[in-house]
Amino acid sequence: MRIFKTRVFVRFARKVKLNDKALSRAVSEVERGLINADLGGGIIKQRIARSGEGKSGGFRTIILFKARTRAVFVYGFEKSARDNIDDDELKEFRRLADKVLSYSDADIKTALAAGALIEVQHG
């Protein structure tokens, strides 16, 4: 399983001090079937706890997910900032999922080289 994050997500993660270890744990939970919300089309909303706190007041992340292949963190928000994504955002995430989850290895390599995707460092 390869895990990636987009530039937009990197900015969010940096701002809220969300590290790669926390992202890896979130994907591990998803792989074990501990999914907070399956939005369909390879889109998952997964909660991540703030450091030293619980998940309920933590962060919400949108992950494009293809089992045993790849997970791509594309969006994050603080629960205190907003309740959920809206229908228009979900439509855009579905379009993005169709594209990104069908990437070949060459497409991934190109996206990494361009900085569009950043690989999450995990064990």
| 3-state secondary structure labels for all residues of 25-49 | HHHHHHHCCCCCEEEECCEEEEEEC
pLDDT computed for residue 3 by the predictor: 97
pLDDT computed for residue 61 by the predictor: 95
CA dist 75 and 52 (Å) reads: 22
**Token representation of residue 94:** 């579905």
Per-residue pLDDT tens, the chain, 123 aa: give them.
999 999 999 999 999 999 999 999 999 999 999 999 999 999 999 999 876 665 656 799 999 999 999 999 999 998 777 778 899 999 999 999 999 999 999 999 999 999 999 999 876
In the chain, domain spans: 2-119
Cite the beta strand spans of the chain per DSSP E: 2-6, 37-40, 43-48, 59-66, 70-78, 117-119
pTM (predicted TM-score):
0.92
